[in-house]
Chains A and B, each alone.
Chain A
Amino acid sequence: MLDTLIEYMSFPFVRYALIVGVLIALCSSLLGVTLVLKRYSFIGDGLSHVAFGALAIATILNFTNRMIIVLPITIVFAILLLRKGQNTKIKGDAAIAMLSVGALAFGYMMMNLFPSSANVSGDVCTTLFGSMSILMLTKTDVWVCGILAIVVTILFIFLYNRIFAVTFDEDFANAVGTKVNLYNLLIATVIAVIIVLAMNLVGSLLISALVIFPALSAMSILKNFKSVTIFSAVSSMICALIGIIISILAGTPVGSTIVAADVVLFAICYLIGRIRG
C-alpha cells in the first residue's frame, strides 16, 4: 500500500491535489469557527449554491476564465446575506435558505436550457459533488490556492483578537468603537472567496461540511476560543490529507471521502466530549 502511495506521489497532479486540498481545508476551518458561532452556519451552503448558479451563467456565456464571473457574484451575495442577517424583518436563516434554493434551481434550469455539453446531468453532478477536477489542477491553480491560503491565514492571525471580539459580542464591540461592519464585510468577502475556490475541491454541496465539521468537532471537546480555532484548523488539514490519500488508494470520490473523514472525526470528538461530561 505504501508502495502504491509513493508511486502516486511521484505524479505532480497528486502532489498538487494534496497541497491544494489541505490549504483549502485550512482556510475554511479558520473561518468555520466564527461562522458557526455567529449562527451563519448555512452561509456556506447558500453561497456555494450562488456560486453554482454563477458558474452555470459563466458556462453558458462560454467564459474561458469562469472565476471572473463567479467570484464577484458570490462576494456580492455574501455581503447581501450578511446585511440581511442584521435586518429584523427578514430573518437571516430564511434569507439564506431562499437564496440557496433559488440559486440552485436557477443554475440547474440554465444548464438545461443552454446545455454546453451533451451530458447535462454529468455536468451538474460534477459541480455539485466535486469532480476529478482536483486531480487536474495546474501549477497556476496551486499558486493561486497557496497565495489565498497565506493571505487568509495572515489576515486571520493578525485580526484574531478583533474577530474574537466581533464574534463573541457584536454589541459590546460596537459600543467600544470596534468597526464591526467592516470586519463582518471582510469575513463575508473572505468566505466567498474560499467557497468559490473550494468548489473545485469538494463541489458546492459539500462545502458546508468543510466549514462546519471541524468547528463542531473542536467545540465538542475544547473550551476556549484559541484552542478551538487551532484544533479545528489542524484537524481539518489532517482530515483533508487522509481523505485525499484514501480516495487515491481506494478510488473513491475525493470530496465525499474528505467529508467522511470529517464526519468520523466529529463522531470521535463528540463521544469524547460526552464521556468527559
Chain B
Amino acid sequence: MAVLSAKELAVGYENQAVLENINFEINAGDYFCIVGENGSGKTTLMKTILGLQQAVSGSIEFGDGLMKNEIGYLPQQSVAQKDFPASVFEIVLSGCQNSLGKKFFYSKEQKKLALSNIKKMGIEKLKNRCYRELSGGQQQRVLLARALCATKKAILLDEPVAGLDPTVTEEMYELIKQLNDDGMTIIMISHDIANVSKYATRIYDVNEGRVTC
C-alpha cells in the first residue's frame, strides 16, 4: 500500500494552478525523485504535500501508517536564516519538535537522538558551532540531521545538492542512499538527471506527468 498518493492533484497559488494532473503513488522504501526544470512547480508541489499551502484541486493521501507530521523536510535554502544565531545542536534538536507532544522541554532521549543524527551526518565536530558560520555543504548536513530527527519513515528533500561542489554532492547522495538502504522512504526534488537516474528507484517528471522506473 502507498504511503503517499496524489490523485488528480493540481498545485499553485491563489487558485492559479502551476502544475496540474499530478498522479503518483509512493511506496514505503521508495527512492522517489521529482524532476523538472526551474519554475516548473516542484517546490510548490512539495509545499502542498507538506500542507504548507492548499492544493488547488485534487487530493493527497497518506497511508500505510504514515502521518503528515511524520515527514522530515529539507527545504531549499532560505535567506532568512543566514544571520541567525543558533548552534548546530540547537537546530538539529528542533527537529524533535513534533515528538514533543504536550511536553515543553526536550527529553534525554530526544537529545540523544539529535546527537546520533549529528554523528550520522558526520558533523560531530561542528556540534557547538554557529550555523551561520558554516559552509553551504555543512549547513545542508545540519538541516538533513534536523529532518532525520523529525521522522523515522519518510523524508522530503528539496534540491539537497544545489550549490554543492562535485565531491560534496557525491557525499550527500551517498548519505541519502544510506538512509534509503536503512529503510527510509526518500522523496527528492532535483534537476540533476544524471545522479537521479543512478540512485532513484522511481522518477516522476512533472512535465510529462508520469512515473518512470
Contacts and interface: CB of A to CB of B under 8 A. Distances in A.
Contacts of A159: 104
Contacts of B52: 171, 174-175
Interface string B103-136: 0111000000000000000000000111011000
B91 A161 contact: no
Contact of B98 (A160, A177, A222, A225): A177
A174 B53 CA distance: 10
Nearest to B147: A172
Contacts of A224: 85-87, 90, 128, 130
B131 to A, nearest CB: 9
B38 to A, nearest CB: 20
Interface residues of B, number: 36
A105 interface: no
Interface residues of A, number: 27
Nearest to A229: B85
A158 B129 CA distance: 25
A91 to B, nearest CB: 14
A176 B133 contact: no
Nearest to A223: B130
A142 interface: no
B90 A164 contact: yes
Contact of A225 (B51, B70, B86): B86
Given A165-B97, A169-B81, A174-B50, A226 B73 contact: no
The A interface, classified by DSSP as helix, strand, loop or mixed, is helix
Interface string A4-19: 0000000000000000
Query: Quick one: which of A164, A174, A176 has the most chain B CB within 10 A?
Result: A176
A164 B100 CA distance: 13
Contacts of B106: 161
A158 B100 CA distance: 12
A145 B190 CA distance: 54
Contact of B75 (A160, A169, A178, A223): A169
Interface of A: 37, 39, 158-162, 164-165, 168-169, 171-178, 218-219, 222-226, 228
29 contacts: A159-B104, A161-B100, A161-B106, A164-B94, A168-B81, A168-B84, A168-B91, A168-B94, A171-B52, A171-B75, A172-B73, A172-B75, A174-B50, A175-B50, A175-B52, A175-B69, A175-B71, A176-B150, A177-B68, A177-B69, A218-B85, A219-B83, A219-B85, A222-B85, A223-B85, A224-B86, A224-B87, A225-B84, A226-B90
